[in-house]
Structure 1
């Protein structure tokens, strides 16, 4: 019987988890509900994003490490988010500058390896430089890999992957189309260095993935909650893990 990773500081009673429970290796979260949270509290929209960026993420990373989760992916900015108001986009860019400025040091100190997926080339050059700096500085950290999905859309990822595959394998190496396989395509996805998510969580009440990791989520367990992302704390993550613990994964069998 495997040793439980849950200690006496758990926000849920240990008896609620199977004694041989192993945490999901990779948890991905669609961070939804920031703007609704701000409206509910009578605040400017950016305040919902700010609470998540400056408070919630840090707590979730710490709790994920405590729970033995090795990969945590957070959808922070979608391809569609570029269509939001200029004021909101500018506010989000300011938060990303903070996140990939000196704020990233607190994650480095925790042994966090930072990664990104998505089309980062669409972001301002100073943010790209900050991302590159912290990805390099944290590359050998092993406590947990935290991946931020920035400028990410599932269809966009697949299109970019197919283009790279055609350019590198078909046009340059003359790979016959009949030899294009799923395994080859995976090697060109943004997530090629990550395991597929075991558990995808969506706060905010919506019950869909909205194009998040469409290739990688084929056998992922899904967990939806009405809790808005700025209120998604350690207890909510534990609730999702408890739900995951009760499921039997068959991977299509």
Structure 2
């Protein structure tokens, strides 16, 4: 059931009391940070960063300016993720469907990816962030690929936060690629007992091999769908939808989403309470 709580559209699972309501909407950022820390912190958070174009349109700006503002939101929110003690965060940067956008906009997005990796590398290192791209990102223009490889190499020692950038990513494509990889492996090993394939065997072939599944997926802009994001990994994720457009997303919005997550009972199909 979806419940409209002010700026949030909450996908309810279990007995959570919401947490993101208008009565508490004017509380300070420090209040929400403390409240989030007092609850159950997700190990892995995925974010579908939506609404850049609409944010720009509302201000009479070009869509590109919305994307530029969205990059600043990433920079603003990474310290907030670290403050909460979240160890893994996946950002949906560029989907396989985004190639359908106007060529000028696509090229601008590639430029933003390149600039972000270059300009913010030192800050990422300072914050202890390890950058890991997932998806078919090596199909991007050479300049973007080079910048991504550079930031991956230079942040490999980061130990506070693993930041996964889903670039040229699609959940269905990931599943197809994983199936092909698994089939090739089994054939090369001479295995014919396909009935013995396990979930673990398949997960080991995903882009996110070895990464904990997301506990919480947040989508901005008010849209209530996951849009081909972490389809396999998000099977049991808690979903929080907010109508805040991504460029306007603040650390307090992240804290509120975590409070909502903490209020829910996660059973994973069982009848027992899944709280830690």
Give the TM-score normalised by structure 1: 0.91
**More displaced 10-residue stretch of structure 1: 95-104 or 29-38:** 95-104
The structural deviation recorded for 1:243 is 0.7
Q: How many residues align?
A: 242
User: Where does residue 35 of structure 2 map in the other structure?
Assistant: 17
The answer to whether the 8 A contact 2:135-2:174 is kept is yes
- For structure 2, the 5+ residue unaligned runs are 1-27, 271-276
**Matched residues in 2 for 1:239 and 1:28: separation?**
15
**Matched residues in 2 for 1:15 and 1:234: separation?**
9
- Which structure has more relative contact order (CA 8 Å, sep 6+)? It is 2
Is 1:156 the counterpart of 2:173? The answer is: yes
**Matched residues in 2 for 1:228 and 1:208: separation?**
15
Give the TM-score normalised by structure 2: 0.84
User: Where does residue 92 of structure 2 map in the other structure?
Assistant: 75
Q: Which among 221, 226, 235 is matched to residue 218 of structure 1? A: 235
Is 1:87 the counterpart of 2:101? The answer is: no
Is 1:123 the counterpart of 2:140? The answer is: yes
The answer to whether the 8 A contact 2:36-2:255 is kept is no
SS at match of 1:17: helix
Over the aligned positions, Cα root-mean-square deviation in angstroms equals 1.6
The answer to whether the 8 A contact 1:17-1:245 is kept is no
**Matched residues in 2 for 1:226 and 1:18: separation?**
20
- For structure 1, the 5+ residue unaligned runs are 1-9
| 1:47-84, Cα deviation, whole Å (9 max, x unpaired) | 1111111x111111000111111111100100000110
Alignment of 1:37-116 (within 5 A): 37-53=55-71, 55-116=72-133
